[in-house]
């Protein structure tokens, strides 16, 4: 006769019930050296990247829809364009991921020269001036910002040159030539187009390459002094930039909140109005004719208003996780070129994110840099996704160098 006793419930192990234990196991999986370490870092990079892209698409749709409807257009117009650029960027990611790392090194000079020629087009009849900056080219209804691709080109080229001269970098001449002159040419082209924000990002990338190459503190101080002098000259030579500095230094001055300080003031109102949990997706008040083109450089203000402090911190954490994944890919490789490429891309994406968030929160004066993966912009989206593809190529090169670490 079968027993009528009810079966005893199978209890899960304590570790499975404890979220902290699951977090510890995840941390160990991501940081422990082993056959799957490189694959874990690569998967983390891809997951974090598209999480940021998804948040960006959501915020671009929310931030742009109201003004489009007011103009008699479809509320999805800007969203569809960003979705298109995301698709193109994803294709660029796949292509760049499958290009062998040695090919980037072999074609480094050609990549740089191609980007410089592309950047020179802004000074031809194809050039388009937007809000005083001439850093775009227009072909029909499409516009592109060549300086966005200069960032990746400088990293690929500078890393290749420094890798080839690795045994000579103890001599400062070999350390700085030709990387410093090449970077200065690129920065000069961007400054000539009056885009100081992008020039600062390029300078940050160049400095990071010298840092990873082991430049001495004295050389860094000299480079910093040159950078400060150059930035000061660029600021004082532009009345508009001087007024922006004045508006940032004294935001309470009469007329500031209605003049050049208007956008910054409205961004702070949006962040303050979001509170801890936000007013809800699509419910922003500041995007309704208060923040001009809220889906561009100031999209973080709309994100903070609609998703609150929690949403803003989530984005910051995702950028931190992205930085960690890039760092892991770099440390798991023994190739010096991977170190330069991963380091340069990390400084570019994370440094630009810090600059954008600092502008929106009023910590620094307004400079025109987009929030990577999130701000509206085709050139920025394609460039950063292509950079992620290069990072995947770096990771795949590590798999090839250590077959035991490659996924089955």
- The yes-or-no verdict on residue 26 having pLDDT over 70 is no
- The yes-or-no verdict on residue 380 having pLDDT over 90 is yes
- How far does CA 357 lie from the centroid of its chain? 11
Q: Who wins on pLDDT, 128 or 15?
A: 128
Strands 127-130, 133-139: parallel, antiparallel or unpaired by DSSP? antiparallel
Q: What is the rounded distance in angstroms from the CA atom of residue 89 to the CA atom of residue 137?
A: 19
Mean pLDDT of 211-238: 80
- Give the pLDDT score at 351: 96
- The yes-or-no verdict on residue 46 having pLDDT over 50 is yes
pLDDT tens-digit map of 228-241: 788 788 777 777 77
- Give the pLDDT score at 141: 78
Mean pLDDT of the chain: 87
pTM for the whole structure: 0.90
- The yes-or-no verdict on residue 143 having pLDDT over 70 is yes
Give per-residue burial for 348-371: e unless 16+ CB within 10 Å, then b: bbbbbbbbbbebbbbeebbbbbbb
Give per-residue burial for 178-208: e unless 16+ CB within 10 Å, then b: ebbebbbebbebbbebbbbbbbbbbbbbbbb
Residue 139: its H or E element: strand 133-139
- The yes-or-no verdict on residue 25 having pLDDT over 80 is no
pLDDT tens-digit map of 246-291: 777 776 565 666 667 788 888 888 999 999 999 999 899 888 878 8
Q: Is residue 283 within 8 Å of 298, Cβ to Cβ?
A: no
Q: What is the rounded distance in angstroms from the CA atom of residue 27 to the CA atom of residue 41?
A: 11
Helix axes 37-70, 77-98, angle to 10 degrees: 160
Q: Who wins on pLDDT, 314 or 173?
A: 314
- The first and second tokens of residue 153, run together, are 């080109």
Mean pLDDT of 341-348: 97
Predicted confidence band at 108 (pLDDT cuts at 50, 70, 90)?
Answer: very high
Query: Checking phi first, is residue 321 left (phi over 0); if not, alpha (psi -120 to 50) or beta?
Result: alpha
> Residue 5, SS3?
coil
- Give the pLDDT score at 33: 66
Q: Is residue 320 within 8 Å of 344, Cβ to Cβ?
A: no
Looking up tokens 């009810």 gives 6
Closest CA to 100 of 388, 406, 397, 326: 397
pLDDT tens-digit map of 295-325: 899 999 999 999 999 999 999 999 999 999 9
Q: Who wins on pLDDT, 268 or 353?
A: 353
Q: Give 128's strand partners.
A: 136
- The first and second tokens of residue 328, run together, are 């892991």
- Residue 313: other Cβ atoms inside 10 A: 13
């Amino acid at each position: 006769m079968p027993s009528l006793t009810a079966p005893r419930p199978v209890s899960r192990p304590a570790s499975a019930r404890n979220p902290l234990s699951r977090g510890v196991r995840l941390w160990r999986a991501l940081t422990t050296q082993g056959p799957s370490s490189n694959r874990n870092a690569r998967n983390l990079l891809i997951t974090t990247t598209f999480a940021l892209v998804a948040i960006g698409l959501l915020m671009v749709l929310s931030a742009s829809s109201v003004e489009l409807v007011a103009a008699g257009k479809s509320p999805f117009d800007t969203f569809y364009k960003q979705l298109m650029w995301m698709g193109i960027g994803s294709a660029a990611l796949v292509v760049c991921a499958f290009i062998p790392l040695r090919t980037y090194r072999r074609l480094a000079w050609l990549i740089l020269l191609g980007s410089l020629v592309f950047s020179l087009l802004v000074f031809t009849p194809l050039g388009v001036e937007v809000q005083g900056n001439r850093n775009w080219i227009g072909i029909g209804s499409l516009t592109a910002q060549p300086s966005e691709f200069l960032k990746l080109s400088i990293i690929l080229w500078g890393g290749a040159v420094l890798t080839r001269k690795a045994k000579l970098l103890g001599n400062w001449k070999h350390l700085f030539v030709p990387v410093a002159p090449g970077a200065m040419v690129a920065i000069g082209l961007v400054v000539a187009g009056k885009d100081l924000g992008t020039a600062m990002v390029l300078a940050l990338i160049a400095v990071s390459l010298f840092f990873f190459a082991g430049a001495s503190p004295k050389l860094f101080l000299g480079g910093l002094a040159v950078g400060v002098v150059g930035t000061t000259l660029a600021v004082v030579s532009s009345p508009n930039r001087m007024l922006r500095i004045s508006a940032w230094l004294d935001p309470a001055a009469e007329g500031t909140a209605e003049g050049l300080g208007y956008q910054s003031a409205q961004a702070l109102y949006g962040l303050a109005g979001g509170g801890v949990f936000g007013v809800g997706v699509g419910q922003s008040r500041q995007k309704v004719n208060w923040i001009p083109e809220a889906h561009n450089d100031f999209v973080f203000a709309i994100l903070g208003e609609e998703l609150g402090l929690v949403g803003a911190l989530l984005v910051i954490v995702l950028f931190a996780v992205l930085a960690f994944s890039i760092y892991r890919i770099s440390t798991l490789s023994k190739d010096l070129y991977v170190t330069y490429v991963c380091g340069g891309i990390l400084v570019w994406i994370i440094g630009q994110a810090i600059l954008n968030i600092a502008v929106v929160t009023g910590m620094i004066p307004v400079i025109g840099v987009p929030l990577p993966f999130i701000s509206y912009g085709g050139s920025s989206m394609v460039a950063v996704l292509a950079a992620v593809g290069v990072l995947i190529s770096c990771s795949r090169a590590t798999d090839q160098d250590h077959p035991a670490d490659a996924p089955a």
